[in-house]
Structure 1
Amino acid sequence: MPDQLDAVIDTAAPDAAPYDALLLLSFGGPEGPDDVVPFLQNVTRGRGIPEERLKEVGQHYFLFDGISPINEQNRHLLDALRKDFAAHGLDSLPVYWGNRNWAPYLTDTLREITRDGHRRIAVLATSAYASYSGCRQYRENLAESIALLKEEGLTPPRVDKLRHYFNHPGFVGPMVDGVLKSLAELPDEVRAGAHLAFTTHSIPTAAADTSGPVEAHGEGGAYVAQHLDVARLIADAVREATGVADRPWQLVYQSRSGAPHIPWLEPDICDHLEALHGEGAPAVVMVPIGFVSDHMEVLYDLDTEASAKAAELGLPVARSATVGADPRFAAAVRELLVERAASERGRTVRPCALGALGPSHDLCPVGCCPARAPKPAAGADSPYA
């Protein structure tokens, strides 16, 4: 949507200055059976969870030979980003990859970036929405890694995390196409009446309520509001494409973990499928809008667990694709990078965004997705924001 970006992007050659590298920052995942427990130990570090419990938790990884697809998905995205950058005059800008919880580890990648001589890098996190675990925790990890490198006597680069992209056309468009493809795969007799179940990761309600800037805090916070906005965008586009004006949809949740006495966002996808079946819904398309790629929580919680529940109920279901390495998403990352670079150079930029909420902030304000305890975090208007 070129009219939504100013001339910095529309008419000039893409310019990434002052950035001299891009870091793709992701969660990470095991790549074999022997990796599963060490990976889960990384994820749960500091919580005192015994190894036997971690083995129980890791059973869904063992169903897939201990391999999470997230690392391979990130390799595909890296390739897509490099191809897009090269095709648009940014081939001299290197793209690196680091993970929070598995190799390639973030600290190792930042050390490589530092030794390669880069001084200012933009960071694209594979999490599109506001929340502590989806934004601030990544910024805390960046701050921690930078501190470790300084202890080693290195001078790490300045890092700027790119804004949330949940409502960027390059993120929304591929998901619309995925829903249309899934609807086409349903039997003719149930297609028109199929419901849409937009799914995302459940988080504690307390974390949801304090997600986003302080003015967004309230029931569900920015986390729920942003997902609802994306769901509405997709539902509207699907209605226009199919001509089905009254297709029901709902935002639901998956992948809950943690103590059962702590309230988390509901309803769960499996409970939702059971409720829809009881109401006589003819079919359901599960739409994982909360996830950038088909990682383990999509493959297990939707393709395995939720699909098994639907089969038990006799309810036809389809699961639409995540964005993954779609070229439109790679182009969106380039636009986010060039947009932020222009802003850092003092240019006036009209950020590209769909829906009612508008573009997200570049710098996380004080009180945005607060931590459980004060801890340094990179990329904010206060190191403890």
Structure 2
Amino acid sequence: MGRVILHVDMNSFYASVEMAYEPELRGKPLAIAGNVEERKGIIVTCSYEARAFGVKTTMPLWQAKKLCPQLIIKGPNFERYRKASSAMFDLLREYTSLVEPVSIDEGYMDITESNVKLSPIEIAKDIQNRLQEELLLPCSIGIAPNKFLAKMASDMKKPLGITILRLREIEKVLWPLPVEEMHGIGEKTAEKLKSISIHTIAELASGNEVQLKKLLGINGERLKNRANGIDNRPVDPEAIFEFKSVGNSSTLPKDVTEESKLYEVLRNLARSVSQRLHRKEVLASKVFITIRYHDRKTVTRSKLMENPVSSEKDLYDTAKELFDKHWNQEAVRLLGITGQELVEKKEAVKQLDLFSYEKDADKEPLFNTIRGIHEKYGSSALQRGMKASAEDDNKKGTSFNKDFLQSP
């Protein structure tokens, strides 16, 4: 009597859309690149014909052309991708109203109570066939009792695969896999897990909760649950309008090497991010900074917080700490601060100690007053010894929402 969740993942979406619009491209090695004119351009996605030559996403153009001299390279056409994405999700909603887009080319469906009189595997086959025939777009589909397992299943057979993953199959199918192949675990998290001798999903599933939480914060417990097939998240059609991260960046009018000016930019960014976190009533468990140099080289670094934060001071102090540690003293063109792994205030439990709880409680009225003045009169109305440029981003929504659901 459990749920039946589908994860629909379009195969090589941008390239497939271009082939749908231009049939002469079908069957040929095709890549979409951010800047087709520059040798340093990066491959955004590529067709499976290109992948057969070793071409991969994020590969520099020069390297891709070396591997595949006949590679056809096109710049992205986001208007085409928006239309194709919209048509794809409209088709999915014919089977159930519980459709949750998670990016332009993938989404979850809860078909537990679908009115379509077909079995789950028949529904998946029907969706796959219709997307291929009506929109000329291939996809892979995972079928499982929850979102995590459905996502893992959809990655198992590409292109044009349909995979069922049941709870009783986790031990045999998932647990032998390297931990870095688990959805939600990136390269850095995998390295951390390996530092405590967790190399497979099975080892994560049986990992020590206290040790995992110390290493990864609240994400440690979450990842262990996922490894055991536990994921109670509902399929939420409104989730695309929620923040998954809150951040701001600032491109400087000229290259800057003066430390004080760069600190000033960081403080302004911290203030802006803090205001947005407070408006959303969320806290950031991780603080992430971006440093882009004069030569476009970009460095990103993050810090997992002992307790979730939202105040300007906490954000600035953490961003400054990361900046001081990783800035190479070269001229900077862009700085950014992002709060990640957001938690709602009402769900955040701070481990207050004997020395900090009175201080935190005393400052809360002051923070509320300052925040109210900033929100009513602008961020430059009340400051502490530093002139700031007014910035207040009232646009709400995920980057997916902004990039693909709103008009350009």
What is the TM-score when the length of structure 1 is the normalising length?
0.25
Using CA pairs under 8 Å that are at least 6 residues apart, name the structure with larger relative contact order, 1 or 2.
1
What is the TM-score when the length of structure 2 is the normalising length?
0.24
Pair member with larger Rg = 2
Q: Which has the higher strand share?
A: 2
